Structure 1
């Protein structure tokens, strides 16, 4: 994805902030625990926090969390939902925190929007030595037949290159970790996947897919036509035609540790 296209997609969520807060899933607690298990302390930054889906999971796990989000509408939803959490405007490329001030940086369905050439050094700066950088993505389990059919009908606008397990494994580590000089401050990446699910109806699953960036930037007539095809597919399947069902998912996690070098050396080298 070109830089301009990435910026267009990443800035599209504010217009749908309320729908995002209502319909996007949370994250499997087992995945978040795995992401944090090697962190040297309890201070966690949720970077690109959106409306607070990952933030809420972190709060439930009892860690000391700070949220940073660039979009004002998304940040407002987060503050409304989680008024006791310290939530700041900022971005992965300009983090409003002191050097070495957090033990882990987590990003929920957000790391692929970061400009890692800039964000990599910033993340390394705010992480304590030995701290953890982890990305989490909720992906649909297309080993389930009807989910595979949904992916075919929906196309890449609704179910993109990180939204099924095999494609996530293929693209994530190489595409989304710190690059060039910043990569020297991090160790080798690890990937893991954890069972998850979201209770949906056909209507609420359509509403969830409508919050995907590819859908939000489509011309309205094309978006409505695609959503109509998705509705028709869900109506045709016995698993999804009537009432509530569980959307089979995995929370896929990628983590890397910041090497134990002095933060002031990184500042001097940058």
Structure 2
């Protein structure tokens, strides 16, 4: 589990190319409970900075990015100059007590211990602040997407979302949830990059990676996806937020 959680740094290029951006309206909903002047946000499990940049685009000028993987943080610093980026985890944040108005985690909560992470984030987030969790998940109700998932293998995040098993603990209150359905046009190269950025595949032996890539190409050939052409990948953005108690 630890190996997979810290494996993404070897595929920063694939992660950046293959993973979708976060919807601005979904990120705005995460931070909606904050007062107008509350700008200090810590983005945990920030990776290459996709969610960090989405928060910045909404005016979050005091954003601190945290990730356990130095290679991911290096990519984040290159793409998001000027943002403070530090090594840490949701269970061990190198930040002062009550120094943030909100904490966000994109594609990350399924990697943490929810009780320990809630307590540690609650130490850093002031009373009345927000914990926001967000995932972009492929919509397997579409047949070819379901077949693609069978080839690549499922993930803990997909299981957590599908089973409605997202949980937080004290000092945060009840979770609110919202979902958005949308689609992203993706080429073969982007679809392969998306697969290559998944921890289960990153940590697989070369022969397994080759088998998955070939099976994906066989599916794309069957679907008539030519080089340079795109398929419409349906996504569901699942967002959750909770308020820190006093």
Check whether TM > 0.5: yes
CA distance in 2: counterparts of 1:21 and 1:236, whole angstroms: 27
2:161 counterpart of 1:168: yes
Instruction: Report if the CA contact (8 A) 1:203-1:231 is conserved.
Output: no
CA distance in 1: counterparts of 2:230 and 2:101, whole angstroms: 39
Which residue does the alignment assign to 1:28? Answer: 23
CA distance in 1: counterparts of 2:106 and 2:80, whole angstroms: 16
Report how far residue 37 of structure 1 moved: 0.8
2:139 counterpart of 1:192: no
Please give the secondary structure, in 2, of the residue aligned with 1:163.
Answer: helix
Q: Of 39, 42, 52, which residue of structure 1 is paired with 2:49? A: 52
Please give the secondary structure, in 2, of the residue aligned with 1:54.
Answer: helix
Which residue does the alignment assign to 1:94? Answer: 92
Instruction: Report if the CA contact (8 A) 2:14-2:193 is conserved.
Output: yes
Which residue does the alignment assign to 2:187? Answer: 201
Larger mean CA deviation between 145-154 and 25-34 belongs to 145-154
Q: Deviations over 1:228-265 (max 9, x none)?
A: 10111122114x44502332112111211111x2xxxx
2:240 counterpart of 1:254: yes
CA distance in 1: counterparts of 2:34 and 2:125, whole angstroms: 10
Larger mean CA deviation between 97-106 and 109-118 belongs to 109-118
Report how far residue 155 of structure 1 moved: 2.5
CA distance in 1: counterparts of 2:138 and 2:194, whole angstroms: 12
CA distance in 1: counterparts of 2:80 and 2:25, whole angstroms: 21
CA distance in 1: counterparts of 2:68 and 2:156, whole angstroms: 23
**Structural mapping, 1:67-146, within 5 Å:** 67-146=65-144
Instruction: Report if the CA contact (8 A) 2:43-2:66 is conserved.
Output: yes
Which residue does the alignment assign to 1:62? Answer: 59
Q: Deviations over 1:182-230 (max 9, x none)?
A: x231111122111333331122201211110111111110121012101
CA distance in 2: counterparts of 1:45 and 1:150, whole angstroms: 34
Instruction: Report if the CA contact (8 A) 2:137-2:158 is conserved.
Output: yes
Instruction: Report if the CA contact (8 A) 2:6-2:68 is conserved.
Output: no
Which residue does the alignment assign to 1:19? Answer: 14
Instruction: Report if the CA contact (8 A) 1:67-1:86 is conserved.
Output: yes
Q: Deviations over 1:136-163 (max 9, x none)?
A: 111011222322232233332xxx2433
Report how far residue 112 of structure 1 moved: 1.2
Q: CA RMSD in A?
A: 1.8
CA distance in 1: counterparts of 2:232 and 2:24, whole angstroms: 17
Which residue does the alignment assign to 1:220? Answer: 206
TM-score for both structures, normalised by structure 1? 0.83
Identify, as 1 or 2, the structure richer in helix.
1
Q: Deviations over 1:38-80 (max 9, x none)?
A: 1242221111100101111111111122111121100000000
Q: Of 27, 32, 39, which residue of structure 2 is paired with 1:37? A: 32
Stretches of structure 1 lacking an aligned partner (at least 5 in a row): 1-5, 178-182, 262-270
